[in-house]
């Protein structure tokens, strides 16, 4: 498993008149986590796009447990449990301190410039293989 931690501060524009984060604000926070996980593991999304690969969302879910509020500092934990093939699924948890606010996941397909489904580029697959092999050999508790 690969994981990443990111932080965001809830901006006023992401809230309603009561200072509660709009439910749609969680989706860009998922994206922050997703792009951070790829970048931290040497696979920046910008490079995938430059090589002609894109990751449109096929599926998304979110479960809202507690409200986020204006000026809260949130932690986004993003996890990739399985080495991706033609699709990639990422799981998210958003917390304020020790309080879990939301969980969710997204599923993405690899497509080429013409919009056709494709396998990820060889360098992406090779890097994922190395990362998952290293994670499998790491002592428990060091995988994020």
Active-site amino acid positions? 16
Q: What's the burial of 115, exposed, middle or buried (CB within 10 Å: 0-12/13-18/19+)?
A: exposed
Contact 27, 60 (CB under 8 A): yes
φ and ψ of 139, to 5 deg: -60, 150
Contact 37, 4 (CB under 8 A): yes
């Amino acid at each position: 498993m690969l994981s990443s931690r990111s932080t965001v501060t809830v901006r006023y524009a992401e809230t309603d008149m009561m200072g509660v984060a709009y439910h749609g604000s969680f989706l860009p926070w998922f994206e922050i986590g997703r792009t951070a996980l790829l970048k931290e593991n040497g696979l920046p999304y910008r490079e995938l796009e430059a090589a002609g690969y894109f990751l449109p969302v096929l599926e998304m879910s979110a479960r809202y447990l507690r409200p986020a509020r204006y000026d809260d500092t949130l932690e986004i934990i993003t996890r990739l449990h399985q080495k991706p093939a033609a699709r990639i699924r990422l799981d998210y948890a958003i917390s304020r301190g020790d309080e879990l606010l939301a969980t969710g996941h997204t599923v993405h397909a690899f497509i080429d410039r013409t919009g056709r489904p494709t396998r990820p580029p060889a360098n992406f697959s090779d890097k994922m293989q190395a990362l998952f092999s290293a994670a499998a050999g790491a002592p428990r508790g060091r995988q994020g």
